[in-house]
Amino acid sequence: MQKKKMFLALALVGFAFDASAVDLINVTDNVVPATNQIYATGATAQTTGIASSLAAICASADTGAGAKPAFHTFTDGATPSIGKGWKCEGSATQTYTLLPGVTGPWIFQKNEGGSRDALVVRTNSLLNQLDVTNCTRVQTSADGAAQVTYSGTCSASLIGKPSHLGFTDVKSTVFAAKSLLTASTYTPVTNTALYDIATGGGQGFGVAVSPALFALLQAEQGLTGDAVPNITKSQYATVMSSTTKAWTALLPSGRSHDATPLIVARRSTSSGTQAAAEIFFLGNPCSAGTGATGVVGSLNATAGNTTGTGIAGAFGSGQNQLRVIQNGTTEGVTGYLSSATDYAIGVISLENAQPATGWKYLKIDGVHPGTANSPEYQKKNILNGTYPFAFEMFIQQNQNASFGNATTAGTLANNINDFKTALVNFLNAGSNTATMNGIYGDPTAPGAEKTVSATNTSRYTRTQRDCATPTLNW
Measured between alpha carbons, how far is 304 from 320 in angstroms, rounded to an integer? Answer: 22
| The pLDDT value given to residue 302 | 40
Q: Nearest to residue 47, comparing CAs of 6, 84, 91, 12?
A: 84
Long-range contacts, 274-277 (Cβ 8 Å, 24+): 274/298, 274/347, 275/115, 275/169, 275/170, 275/174, 275/175, 275/178, 276/169, 276/170, 276/205, 276/347, 276/389, 276/391, 276/466, 277/205, 277/240, 277/347
φ and ψ of 214, to 5 deg: -60, -45
In this structure, the answer to whether residues 411 and 457 fall within a common structural domain is yes
| The pLDDT value given to residue 201 | 95
Total domains in the chain come to 2
Q: What DSSP letter does each residue of 177-214 carry, written as one string?
A: HTT-S-SGGGS--SSEEEEEEEEEEEEEEEEEE-HHHH
In this structure, the answer to whether residues 238 and 181 fall within a common structural domain is no
Burial class (CB in 10 A: 0-12, 13-18, 19+), 469: exposed
Measured between alpha carbons, how far is 20 from 133 in angstroms, rounded to an integer? Answer: 12
What residue type is assigned to position 257 of the chain? H
In this structure, the answer to whether residues 276 and 369 fall within a common structural domain is yes
Cis link prior to 375 (omega < 30° from 0)? yes
In this structure, the answer to whether residues 160 and 175 fall within a common structural domain is yes
Choose one of 390, 417, 432: the last residue of a domain.
390
In this structure, the answer to whether residues 333 and 305 fall within a common structural domain is yes
SS3 436: coil
CB 318 within 8 A of CB 254: no
In this structure, the answer to whether residues 59 and 129 fall within a common structural domain is yes
Burial class (CB in 10 A: 0-12, 13-18, 19+), 230: middle
Distance of CA 412 to the CA centre of its chain: 25
In this structure, the answer to whether residues 147 and 287 fall within a common structural domain is no
10-residue mean pLDDT profile of the chain (474 residues): values are: 41 51 85 97 92 96 92 93 94 95 97 93 91 94 92 94 96 91 78 89 97 98 96 95 91 93 92 95 76 42 38 77 89 94 96 94 96 84 96 95 87 96 93 93 93 88 95 94
Choose one of 390, 419, 450: the last residue of a domain.
390
Residue 273, CA atoms < 13 Å, CB-side half-sphere = 33
| The pLDDT value given to residue 21 | 76
Measured between alpha carbons, how far is 316 from 284 in angstroms, rounded to an integer? Answer: 25
In this structure, the answer to whether residues 272 and 151 fall within a common structural domain is no
CB 410 within 8 A of CB 87: no
Q: What is the CA radius of gyration of the chain?
A: 23
Measured between alpha carbons, how far is 326 from 21 in angstroms, rounded to an integer? Answer: 35
CATH number of the domain bearing residue 315:
3.40.190.10
Q: Nearest to residue 412, comparing CAs of 102, 173, 8?
A: 102
Measured between alpha carbons, how far is 448 from 431 in angstroms, rounded to an integer? Answer: 9
Q: Nearest to residue 387, comparing CAs of 360, 353, 362?
A: 362
In this structure, the answer to whether residues 212 and 228 fall within a common structural domain is yes
In this structure, the answer to whether residues 83 and 107 fall within a common structural domain is yes
**What is the 8-class DSSP label of residue 367?**
B
Residues near 145 by beta carbon (within 8 Å), at least 6 away in sequence: 67
Choose one of 355, 390, 425: the last residue of a domain.
390
In this structure, the answer to whether residues 183 and 140 fall within a common structural domain is yes
Residues near 222 by beta carbon (within 8 Å), at least 6 away in sequence: none
Residues near 414 by beta carbon (within 8 Å), at least 6 away in sequence: 35, 101, 404, 405, 406, 407, 408
In this structure, the answer to whether residues 213 and 187 fall within a common structural domain is no
| The pLDDT value given to residue 472 | 95
Q: Which residues pair with 60 in a beta bridge?
A: none
- Domain residues for 88? 2-203+392-472
